[in-house]
Structure 1
Amino acid sequence: MIERSELGAFLQAQRARLRPADVGLAPDQVPRRVPGLRREEVARLAGLSTDYYTRLEQGRKDSPSEGVLNAIARALHLDEIGRQHLLDLARPVGSVTAPRTPPAQRVRASTRQLMESWADQPALLLGRRLDVLATNALGRALLFDFGTLPPAERNYLRWLMLHPHARVLYRDWESVASEMVAALRREAGRHPDDPSIIDLVGELVVRSEEFAGWWADQRVTAHTHGVKRFHHELVGDLELDWQGLALPGDEDQTIYVYHAPPGSPAAEKLGLLGSWIGSAPAAAGRNPETATGAESAVDEPA
């Protein structure tokens, strides 16, 4: 059997986003009672019977073929990320060969060394369910020292939604947070049996109304690159490009590195942050060994 509620909710949300004009249908003579396409319109666009599509959306149709799912994806104007998410949701329960509790993730020493060698680029390493597995020194200075959090709380999205520092740091906090919710939605589709993802979603739905709303929106994204705007307490406002670098051989691990054009105001401010790193422990009354130990804890199994 397929995961009925998730697949149906995703299909309903996607057709609700589309207007008849978006898919080449003639406008209605009278306003629709509910927004979006009707089931029969999606079925017609996908070359399916209305009964078949209705049963699929309601979870009463088992194991649709990939061809059928691709036709539905085209009818709903899904991008490649959305199409793959649809395939993940329609995968029969029990077809996943991985164990219900995935193995703990570890960070290779060479990966940590590579990240620390980037003296001018802040970087953090996210794993499955967006857990923070490692950061470099400039990443901790720019974003947050996740090693100061208990191991169970070292999750980027959890920090975004619940920690007050994140709302001050990101000038476009709502955009950043909602995109990361969409990234977790994709992770949940890829790992439907992962209890850690289920627990994280359950906690955030209860503790954050904003998360609950964005989660119900059924949006998915791959979170690969972009621009983020920061307001840092030490250097003020800066805008940085970022790239997500997937690690071959380390499934579900991605390094996110931030950078600024040489000579730009943002690059100068990163340089100021870099110079501040050496004196930060003494200025903050912290022991350097404590900071090192905290980062080592981040690199433990997530």
Structure 2
Amino acid sequence: MSDPHRDLGEFLRRARASRDPERAGLLPDGRIRRVPGLRREEVALLAGVSTDYYTRLEQGRHIVPSTQVIEVLTTALDLDDAGETYLRTLISVVGSFATRPRPVVQRVRPALHRLLNSFAGQAALILGRRTDILASNPLARALFADFDALPAKHRNYARWMLLDEHAHDLFRDWEEQARNAVEALRLDSAATPNDPGTQQLIGELSLSSPEFRQWWSGHRVHQRTHGTKRLNHPVVGTLDVQFETLTFPGDDHQVLYLYSTEPGTASHEALTLLANWTTPHTLDQT
């Protein structure tokens, strides 16, 4: 079971180590820096808290920072939006960490399945907690993988990226995409540190993937709402697809990913060909 106090301390240490003293506005004091980034007392100074208080945070002591402290730490450590979200989530969990939750079955409403299938020219996925792949339309299964054919416990985006050889071959920038998936899982897992499914997934990936062990220990977080996937597809060849994400009001644990291509490009022609290939055709009987 994950300990949110320990996770919070580790994240603060990593963030402090990546902070450049000069960019933080600190003047040289003549002392030799034996570790990268800022010293604890420097973070405390920038945040306006005592060194002892900040040290206890990094040591994983059972204290819950106030909203004001979260804000000054975010500024002192120069956290991006994903980093701030992760920090706030960890601290929120620290304040309420108690019992092991009952497993929650993730389901996609029938209307959302129909919505996915209405995107004839766009690949579409719905991801849930811990990057579980909850639903996909035919074009997404043709573009990436037939997720419906996988065993239920294997329908997870991070797991697929790291352990499936097809994913290694499909993405021209596999290392970047796989690292992003690990960092997205790290961000998501902060909200449910004692979730059995999340812990089982992390354990499996830790045993099976050296890349996962390396990136997970880096404690970096990632939240990308749009971007590009660079693929080398076995049927239609090289193409670049752009993605956008949408969350559903009232259920922010489910995220819709839409993949499209720029009209007039070779990538658009390739995706159109793949879409035509996946669309069922009926014979004219007249």
User: TM-score, normalization: structure 2?
Assistant: 0.92
Say how many residue pairs are matched: 279
The within-5 A match list for 1:125-136 is 125-136=126-137
The within-5 A match list for 1:126-275 is 126-275=127-276
Q: Distance in 2 between matches of 1:94 and 1:208?
A: 32
| Residue pair 2:103, 2:197 contacting (<8 A) in 1 also | no
Q: Distance in 2 between matches of 1:98 and 1:61?
A: 16
Secondary structure at the aligned position of 2:140 is classed as helix
- 2:38 aligned partner, one-letter code: L
| Residue pair 2:5, 2:62 contacting (<8 A) in 1 also | no
Change in CA separation of 1:162 and 1:188 when aligned onto 2, cut-off 3 Å? same
The superposition leaves residues 239-268 of structure 1 with CA deviations (integer Å, 9 ceiling, x where unpaired) of 111001112233410111111122221111
- 2:83 aligned partner, one-letter code: G
The superposition leaves residues 88-135 of structure 1 with CA deviations (integer Å, 9 ceiling, x where unpaired) of 212354726997124211111111111111111011111111011111
- 1:277 aligned partner, one-letter code: T
- 1:62 aligned partner, one-letter code: I
Q: Distance in 1 between matches of 2:183 and 2:91?
A: 18
Secondary structure at the aligned position of 1:252 is classed as strand
Secondary structure at the aligned position of 1:21 is classed as coil
Q: Distance in 2 between matches of 1:235 and 1:127?
A: 29
The superposition leaves residues 62-89 of structure 1 with CA deviations (integer Å, 9 ceiling, x where unpaired) of 1221111211111000123212211221
Aligned to 1:292: none
Aligned to 1:117: 118
| Residue pair 1:180, 1:223 contacting (<8 A) in 2 also | no
| Residue pair 2:64, 2:95 contacting (<8 A) in 1 also | no
Q: Distance in 2 between matches of 1:56 and 1:92?
A: 14
| Residue pair 1:132, 1:156 contacting (<8 A) in 2 also | yes
Aligned to 1:108: 109
Secondary structure at the aligned position of 2:126 is classed as strand
What is the Cα deviation at residue 180 of structure 1?
1.0
- 1:79 aligned partner, one-letter code: D
Q: Distance in 2 between matches of 1:8 and 1:99?
A: 21
Q: Distance in 2 between matches of 1:94 and 1:44?
A: 25
| Residue pair 1:101, 1:193 contacting (<8 A) in 2 also | no
Q: Distance in 1 between matches of 2:182 and 2:71?
A: 25
Aligned to 1:67: 68
Unaligned runs of 5+ in 2: 282-286
Q: Distance in 1 between matches of 2:81 and 2:226?
A: 16
The superposition leaves residues 34-63 of structure 1 with CA deviations (integer Å, 9 ceiling, x where unpaired) of 211110100000001111110111122512
Aligned to 2:17: 16
Q: Distance in 2 between matches of 1:132 and 1:196?
A: 14
User: TM-score, normalization: structure 1?
Assistant: 0.87
Q: Distance in 2 between matches of 1:77 and 1:199?
A: 32
| Residue pair 1:161, 1:208 contacting (<8 A) in 2 also | yes
The superposition leaves residues 19-48 of structure 1 with CA deviations (integer Å, 9 ceiling, x where unpaired) of 211201124646522211110100000001
Secondary structure at the aligned position of 1:171 is classed as coil
Aligned to 1:44: 45
